A and B are shown apart, each in its own frame.
Chain A
Amino acid sequence: MSSKATIYSFLFLGLAVTALLIVAPVVYAVSLSFYQMDSFVGAPKWAGLDNYTRMLSQWVFWRALINGFIYSFGTIIFQVVLGIGFALVLNQVFPGRNIVRGLSILPYLLPTVVVVLTFKWMVDGSIGVLTTMMSALGLPQVQWFESPGAAMASVILVSVWMWTPFVTTTFLAALQTVPSSLYEAAKVDGTNAVQRFFHITLPMLKPILTVIVLLRAVWMFNKFDVIWLLTQGGPVGATEHLAILSYKQAFGQFDIGGGAAVATISFAILSLVVFIYFRLFPLDTE
């Protein structure tokens, strides 16, 4: 077999696996959104764009969209800022650094369910450690899941807690790639630590940061488990974003077409955001 044939056969294999695992489900899901279906066993009925017009004309859809943006922006900003902050601290030389570095990744390794249950337990109204500490400090009681604002804050808080270590670890690894002579040149050039961060670290890590933010954005926009386990989108839809809405529509309301339409719109919006994002922050800066 010639090497060209080998390359093509591998290429074909790759494309086939991609088609089977990614393209086919997407096509199936998108096609569902053009049918009216109340279960996966009944015969689907062609509905054209009905599902779309129906969902887009509902207030809950727009609320879910806005919630999705609030949730993903909130989590990304805190994750990235805190993640970089921790990475800079962990990059310093101090005794026990390797142990602290190891521990810092821990929340990321825990299953979501464990993190969520731990948090629920910490803010429990009677025995929660956070509740007890706050009342000992004379702070007012927070109804973590009852008021809309606090519920959104809770889901953001838990998400940031869980995924900041990812940013920290990635950024910390990236920091090791910046040649130390650049920092030394900048020291000789008269910079202080803050100026070095903005003139050396940030520009040097911009490509990696671009990817981190994008990955986090895509993941957070579609994040389902944390919110579902914490609030199930409540109270009264305050933390319900498109993924939750789509699930509730399909499996709560038995409106599979409507759920699929929401998922498709969500997919389209995300694609658009990614497209615009790469326009704004091209990976190759030359």
Chain B
Amino acid sequence: MAEVRLNKVRKAYGAQVAVHGVDLHIRDGEFVVFLGPSGCGKSTTLRMIAGLEEITTGTIEIGGRDVTRLEPKDRNIAMVFQNYALYPHKTIYENLAFGLRMRRMDKAEIDRRVKSASAMLGLDPYLERKPKQLSGGQMQRVALGRALVRDPDVFLLDEPLSNLDAKLRVRMREEIARLHQEVGTSMVYVTHDQVEAMTLANRILIMRDGHVQQVGAPLEVYDRPANLFVAGFIGSPEMNLIEGHLERGALKAGGLSIELPPGIAAAEGTPLVLGVRPEHIGVGEAPGAHAFHVAVIEQLGAQTLCIGEVAGVRLRVLMDRTDAVRNGTTLPIQFRPGRLHVFSKETGARINRADADVGRRPAA
């Protein structure tokens, strides 16, 4: 068990920069998820922690030890690969034991650890099989087991669930959460699935084009996205983003005028982007309600998603399940100032006051 520190870690392939300086302090026992779209540099960052990718500049410390120039085997890390990377010609037992054998561990101790990991992951019936004779979910468990037996300082997982079907993915996600609670070792987990990130992480690091966009607890990035990219990336269905400009404390967009929360530090007429989550739009008559014309209805089961427009602005509205809405229905809706996210159109940065109450009930 140990903490991990990344100091200005940067990776360039020739002239192309894949990762532009990541600074991160992963606390002992913390579960950190790297989240971002394809090609944003999440795997590269993880592989630099593992020692599988050379670090162009910057340093990495694990448990207070500078490991920047160390081989993977000397970093005391364990890794789980997307395609499992099990040794096809070795039995499951041998797959689990291999890393310990290579470290010349005592035979009895190896056996004890393999048995304990296999019991923990329900692999006992398969120990004598070859990887080919297992299902995807079972192989993934072996890959986890191989990391587990090592008892490393930190677990590194690169999209471990992306080869599994949706149902199995949810099961394995729960299993990984349980494992993390049981062993309490720091984990770094790469994914492009925001649900995995939200449910597993203590903290999420969101990347884009090799740049860190925001680091924070799941609800923190949901409640206070630092910029337009994070706002659009986190949350499902996607946040509504309405372009307009500042006019007397309100956002003017087409025929629409939306009252903004106080404390917007921007000059009159500044172009802004207003973000509002579909689930945060109020439906029902109230003073100052806007008329929302429904064009498309998506029934999600417990909720109903309506897509339409208000005064010429396209909008998604998520409400509790209702069967009453039809294509062409007009609904009264309101924007609540406390639930609005305001971004500069020019830089994309959030310009609400940092302490603005967004989404959460004010603390009593």
Enumerate chain A interface residues (CB-CB to B < 8 A): 179, 181-182, 184-191, 195, 199-200, 203-204, 206, 285-286
Known: A187-B52, A188-B50. A182 touches B73 (CB 8 A): no
Which A residue sits closest to B81, measured CB to CB?
A181
Known: A184-B79, A190-B73, A286-B132. 18 other contacts (CB 8 A): A181-B83, A181-B85, A184-B50, A184-B81, A185-B81, A185-B85, A185-B86, A187-B52, A188-B50, A189-B98, A189-B99, A189-B146, A190-B102, A191-B73, A195-B102, A200-B87, A203-B88, A203-B89
Which parts of B77-96 form the interface with A (CB within 8 Å)?
77-79, 81-83, 85-89
Minimum CB–CB distance for A40 against chain B, Å: 53
Among B51, B71, B85, B130, the residue within 8 A (CB) of A179 is B85
Return A211 CB to nearest CB of chain B, in Å: 17
Is B85 a contact of A199 with CB atoms below 8 Å?
no
Nearest-CB distance from B77 to chain A (Å)? 7
Cα separation A256 to B78 with both chains bound (whole Å) = 69
In this complex, how many residues of chain B approach chain A with their Cβ under 8 Å: the count is 24
**Bound complex: CA of A45 vs CA of B347, how far in Å?**
101
Measured CB to CB, the closest approach of chain A to B48, in angstroms, equals 13
Contacts of A189 in B (CB 8 A): 73, 98-99, 102, 146
A residues less than 8 Å from B99 (CB atoms): 188-190
Q: Which residues of A contact B88 (CB under 8 A)?
A: 203-204
User: Can you give 5 contacting A-B residue pairs, CB < 8 Å?
Assistant: A179-B85, A184-B72, A188-B78, A199-B87, A204-B89
B146: chain A residues within 8 A (beta carbon): 185, 189
Task: Collect the chain A residues with CB atoms within 8 Å of residue B85's CB.
Answer: 179, 181-182, 184-185
Contacts of A186 in B (CB 8 A): 87, 98
CB distance from A273 to the nearest CB of B (A): 26
Ranked 6 nearest A-B pairs via Cβ: A189-B99, A181-B85, A190-B102, A190-B73, A185-B85, A203-B89
Min CB distance A5 to B, Å, is: 38
* Selected contact of B52 from candidates A182, A184, A191, A195, CB within 8 Å: A184
The verdict on B167 contacting chain A, using a C-beta distance below 8 Å, is no
Query: Is B360 at the interface (CB under 8 A from chain A)?
Result: no
Question: Closest Cβ of chain A: how far from B47's Cβ, in Å?
Answer: 8
How far apart are A176's CB and chain B's nearest CB, in angstroms?
A: 16
